[in-house]
Structure 1
Amino acid sequence: MTMNLLRLLSVSLLASAFLLSCQPKSKKIATPAPSELMVYESFDDFAPLLENKSDTAYVINFWATWCAPCVEEMPYFETLHERMSGEKVKVFLVSLDFKKDLDTKLKPFLEERKLKSTVMMLADGRYNDWIDRVTPEWSGAIPATVLVKGGELRFFGEQFPSYEALENWVKGL
Structure 2
Amino acid sequence: MFKNGFYSLLFLSLLFSCKKGEVKEVSQKVSSVKSYTYNELKPLLEKNDGKTYVVNFWATWCAPCVKELPAFEKLNKEYAAKNVEVILVSLDFPKQVDKRLIPFINKHNLQSKVVLLNDINEDVWIKAIDSTWSGAIPATLIYNAKGRTFYEKSFDYEELESELKTIL
Question: TM over 0.5, yes or no?
Answer: yes
Residues 36/163 of structure 1: CA separation in 2 closer, same or farther (3 Å cut): farther
Question: Could you tell me whether the CA contact under 8 Å between 2:56 and 2:88 is conserved in 1?
Answer: yes
Given residue 51 of structure 1, which amino acid in structure 2 is its aligned partner?
E
Tell me if 1:49 matches 2:29.
no
Conserved? CA contact 1:36–1:119, under 8 Å: no
Q: Does 1:128 align with 2:123?
A: yes
Structure 2, unpaired ranges of 5+:
1-27
Counterpart of 1:37?
A: 33
Decide which structure has the larger Cα Rg and report it. 1
Q: Tell me the SS of whatever aligns to 1:172.
A: helix
- Counterpart selection for 2:148 from 126, 143, 153: 153
The whole-number CA distance in structure 2 between the counterparts of 1:109 and 1:85 is: 23
- Counterparts of 1:155-170 in structure 2, within 5 Å, are 155-160=150-155, 162-170=156-164
- Per-residue CA distance 1:92-149 (angstroms, 9 max, x = gap): 0000001011111111111111111001100112111111110101110000000120
- Does 2:66 align with 1:66? no
Determine helix, strand or coil for the equivalent of 2:140. strand
Runs of 5+ in structure 1 lacking a partner?
Answer: 1-30
TM-superposed CA distance for 1:37, in Å, is: 2.5
Counterpart of 2:53, as a letter, is: Y
User: Helix, strand or coil for the counterpart of 1:55?
Assistant: coil
Q: In 2 relative to 1, CA 101–36 (structure 1 residues): closer, same or farther, beyond 3 Å?
A: closer
- Partners of 2:83 and 2:118 lie apart in 1 by 28
Count the aligned residue pairs.
140
Backbone CA RMSD of aligned residues: 1.6
2:128 is equivalent to residue 137 of structure 1 = no
Aligned 8 A contact 1:36 1:118 in 2: no
* Aligned-partner SS, 1:62: strand
Secondary structure, counterpart of 1:48 in structure 2: helix
- What CA deviation, in whole Å up to 9, does each residue of 1:43-86 have, x standing for no partner? 00000111122321010000000000000000000000111111
Give SS of 1:83's match. Answer: helix
Q: What is the letter of the counterpart of residue 39 of structure 1?
A: S
**TM-score, reference length from structure 1:** 0.77
Specify the alignment match of 1:103 in structure 2.
98
Task: Quote the sequence identity (%).
Answer: 42
Offset of 1:152 from its aligned partner? 3.0
2:58/2:89 contact within 8 Å kept? yes
Segments of 4+ moved more than 6 angstroms: none
